[in-house]
């Protein structure tokens, strides 16, 4: 139900006004009578109209109240979405956000949205068309405009939700493209308001109707899980609803239950749990909240606890404590610092980091170059310039995962032009700041000396370095934690012939050189088997759901949009207005009231 004119609610004041009039005392004219016997009717009338007495049953009062209520509801202009209001071409957008997997409506929010879309398809009038758009990792057109129910039902059968965030802007842009050339169109969004809206209200070629799916915001989930250097496990439990909860935290090591801890968390807050009972030699720890709730994705988290492989990194620098400490944050990394004058080519390292220096001859790989001298390196830099304001980069880029650049400033950077086979990861308004090669050999280049910026003073710096390690270093993905739906760069060992990725459900995906990124769809532990020339290397990485915005599953409002050439106060297509029927009912009630009044008792 949609209220197109909320200000019409002021007309509801007529209902108490009518009741008040029935309570008020009536003024009577003075009357002379010839006998006291004639006083009786006047006394009865006086008693009947005494103020503030209990109301007596009156058909006039009932009819007047019903007429006033009907008029007020008509002024509110209620409307419902249904097949009767479907335009010539209707675009149905299904929100595939992770929060749509909540089960507060059956079978899930996403299932309820698909069922609603099926109902619209089954009632599609002759001559009308419908298209289906799914908001997944990317907006996908499941069905072009069609009037064939079988085609549309088949498209809905293929719809699946994601385990992460989706982009509403992509879906609305796709809807605009589909509606081009269809003047009488409409857009229907079925979701819970958690699809990421564009920064500015987009312009649409047709009116947008938002049908909210979901009812509750009560949810408790695991917000973070980590292990300290001393072996203590830290778990943070968050209550995203309003009710206090008493829960149990089950801890399993390699699939075996090893402990159960009580957890009490108040509404809208967090509770921290520490535990030091991890068995020796355990490879994977699973933490699970019980009993479960309507949103299961954040009830479980995993942690790879096995000792990581030792990786050798050579840092060639005159002196850069910021860079050295950021590299050493990752367990299993052994950093060897060498002065530029003392550098000698070697194959004993898994990663080379050159700070302000480029070695002569062939550049070893994989390598990270930081502020190389002008004219040197795989992506030669020009004269230093002011790069301008630092831009956020491409959303979803694995090198920028959890990296916030809005408070970063760079004073000077070498002018750079990405060579063929390279891409810009992020940059300033006037110059690229981080370049990365596509494919092999794996190389990356910061175009500025980090001492000429405040990047080392920001939390973004160590996170960026860890992302670069995962991208560049062989096995950089091992024991790491990723978000569902985000591409994972599987930097294979030298000489690897194939990489098999086994998901939590046991399904295997084989990747061949040059080993494209792998996108894990569901949370859990993933096993990676690398086929080397003389052996098989087995390692793991974890995918945890840790999106606080999506864990707050309370349905959100309709997104703000602009409709091109839409008349003011015009109802959105797909909305059937009910005010004409309410106005007709009010007229009938007033006619009945007039008849009862003149008919008399």
pLDDT value at residue 24 = 64
- What are the φ/ψ torsions at residue 149 (nearest 5 degrees)? -60, -35
pLDDT value at residue 591 = 87
Q: What is the DSSP letter of 163?
A: S
* Domain shared by 76 and 90, yes or no: no
* Domain shared by 225 and 326, yes or no: no
Instruction: Please list the residues that pair with 239 across neighbouring strands.
Output: 220
* Domain shared by 208 and 90, yes or no: yes
- Average confidence (pLDDT) over 310-331: 95
- Half-sphere exposure (CA, 13 Å, Cβ side) for 378? 26
Tell me how many degrees the CA angle 263-267-270 measures, rounded to the nearest 5. 55
How far is it, in rounded angstroms, from Cα 508 to Cα 523? 15
Q: Which of 40-44, 223-227, 532-536, 554-558 has the lowest mean pLDDT?
A: 40-44
- Average confidence (pLDDT) over 510-521: 92
* Domain shared by 70 and 134, yes or no: no
Beta carbons of 111 and 181 less than 8 angstroms apart: no
* Domain shared by 206 and 122, yes or no: yes
Q: CATH number for the domain including 273?
A: 2.60.40.10
535 lies in a domain? no
For β-strands 498-502 and 524-531, DSSP reports them as: antiparallel
Average pLDDT value over all residues in the chain: 89
528 lies in a domain? no
Tell me how many degrees the CA angle 532-535-537 measures, rounded to the nearest 5. 75
Three-state SS letters, 11-39: HHHHHHHHHHHHHCCCCCCCCCCCCHHHH
504 lies in a domain? no
* Domain shared by 43 and 155, yes or no: no
- Average confidence (pLDDT) over 481-488: 90
Confidence band (pLDDT; 50, 70, 90) for 321? very high
pLDDT digits (tens, 9 = 90+) for 32-70: 766 666 666 656 555 555 555 555 667 777 888 888 888
| H helices present in 455-520, as ranges | 460-472
* Domain shared by 98 and 190, yes or no: yes
| First-last CA distance in the chain | 41
455 has pLDDT over 50: yes
With pLDDT > 70 as the criterion, what percentage of the chain qualifies? 90
* Domain shared by 465 and 317, yes or no: yes
Our separate counts of H helices and E strands in the chain read: 10, 31
With pLDDT > 90 as the criterion, what percentage of the chain qualifies? 69
* Domain shared by 296 and 185, yes or no: no
62 lies in a domain? yes
Q: Is 584 helix (H, G, I), strand (E, B) or coil?
A: helix
pTM: 0.75
Structure tokens at 82: 């249904």
How far is it, in rounded angstroms, from Cα 368 to Cα 466? 12
pLDDT value at residue 192 = 96
How far is it, in rounded angstroms, from Cα 541 to Cα 557? 36
State the residue range of the domain holding 58: 2-27+36-80+580-599
How far is it, in rounded angstroms, from Cα 94 to Cα 135? 6
DSSP state letters, 402-437: T---TT--BS-EE---PPTTEEEEEEBSSSEEEEEE
pLDDT digits (tens, 9 = 90+) for 418-446: 999 999 999 999 999 999 998 888 999 99
Q: 486: exposed, middle or buried (C-beta count within 10 Å: 0-12, 13-18, 19+)?
A: middle
* Domain shared by 447 and 590, yes or no: no
Q: b vs e for 74-101, b when ≥16 Cβ sit within 10 Å of the residue's Cβ?
A: bbbbbbebebebbbebbbbbbbbbbbbb
pLDDT value at residue 572 = 45
How far is it, in rounded angstroms, from Cα 21 to Cα 180? 57
pLDDT digits (tens, 9 = 90+) for 339-358: 999 999 998 999 999 999 99
- What are the φ/ψ torsions at residue 230 (nearest 5 degrees)? -80, 0
* Domain shared by 365 and 445, yes or no: yes
pLDDT value at residue 573 = 46
pLDDT value at residue 498 = 96
């Amino acid at each position: 139900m949609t209220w197109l004119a909320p200000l019409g609610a002021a007309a509801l004041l007529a209902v108490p006004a009518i009741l008040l009039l029935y309570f008020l005392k009536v003024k009577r004219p003075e009357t002379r009578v010839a006998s006291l016997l004639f006083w009786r009717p006047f006394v009865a009338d006086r008693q009947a109209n005494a103020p503030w007495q209990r109301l007596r049953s009156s058909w006039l009062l009932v009819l007047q109240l019903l007429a006033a209520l009907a008029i007020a509801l008509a002024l509110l202009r209620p409307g419902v979405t249904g097949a009767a209001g479907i335009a010539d071409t209707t675009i149905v957008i299904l929100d595939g956000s992770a929060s749509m997997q909540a089960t507060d409506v059956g079978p899930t929010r996403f299932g309820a949205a698909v069922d609603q879309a099926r109902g619209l398809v089954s009632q599609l009038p002759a001559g009308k068309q419908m298209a289906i758009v799914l908001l997944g990792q990317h907006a996908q057109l499941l069905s072009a405009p069609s009037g064939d129910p079988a085609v549309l039902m088949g498209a809905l059968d293929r719809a699946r939700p994601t385990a992460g965030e989706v982009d509403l802007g992509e879906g609305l842009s796709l809807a605009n493209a589909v509606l081009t050339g269809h003047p009488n169109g409409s857009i229907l969004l079925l979701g819970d308001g958690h699809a990421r809206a564009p920064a500015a209200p987009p312009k649409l070629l047709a009116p947008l109707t938002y049908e909210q799916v979901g009812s509750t915001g009560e949810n408790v989930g695991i917000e973070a899980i980590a292990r300290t250097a001393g072996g203590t496990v830290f778990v943070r439990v968050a209550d995203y609803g309003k009710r206090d909860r008493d829960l149990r935290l089950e801890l399993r090591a390699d699939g075996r239950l090893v402990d159960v801890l009580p957890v009490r968390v108040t509404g809208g807050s967090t509770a921290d749990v520490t535990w030091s009972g991890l068995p020796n030699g355990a490879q994977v720890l699973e933490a699970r909240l019980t009993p479960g709730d309507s949103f299961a994705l954040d009830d479980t988290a995993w942690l790879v606890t096995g000792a990581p492989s030792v990786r050798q990194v050579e840092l060639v620098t005159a002196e850069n404590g910021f860079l050295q400490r950021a590299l050493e944050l990752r367990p299993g990394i052994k950093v060897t610092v060498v002065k530029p004058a003392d550098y000698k080519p070697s194959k004993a390292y898994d990663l080379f980091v050159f700070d302000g220096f480029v070695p002569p001859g062939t550049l070893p790989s994989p390598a990270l170059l930081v502020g190389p001298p002008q004219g040197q390196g795989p992506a030669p830099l020009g004269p230093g310039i002011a790069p301008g304001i630092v831009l956020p980069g491409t959303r979803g880029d694995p090198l920028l995962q959890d990296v916030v650049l809005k408070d970063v400033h760079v004073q000077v950077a070498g002018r750079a032009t990405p060579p063929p086979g390279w891409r810009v990861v992020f940059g300033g308004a006037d110059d690229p700041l981080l370049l990365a090669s596509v494919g092999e050999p794996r190389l990356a280049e910061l175009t500025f000396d980090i001492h000429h910026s405040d990047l080392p003073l920001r939390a973004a710096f160590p996170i960026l370095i860890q992302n670069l390690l995962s991208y560049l270093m062989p096995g950089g993905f091992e024991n790491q934690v990723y978000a569902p739906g985000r591409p994972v760069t599987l930097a294979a060992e030298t000489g690897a012939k194939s990489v098999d990725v086994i998901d939590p459900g046991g399904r295997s995906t084989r990747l061949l050189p040059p080993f494209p990124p792998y996108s894990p769809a569901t949370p859990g532990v993933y096993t990676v088997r690398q086929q080397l020339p003389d052996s098989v290397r087995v390692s793991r990485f974890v995918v945890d759901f840790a999106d606080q915005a999506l864990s707050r599953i309370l349905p959100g409002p309709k997104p703000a949009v602009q409709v091109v050439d839409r008349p003011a106060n015009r109802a959105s297509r797909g909305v059937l207005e009910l005010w004409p029927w309410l106005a007709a009912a009010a007229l009938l009630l007033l006619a009945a009231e007039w008849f009862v009044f003149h008919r008399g008792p």
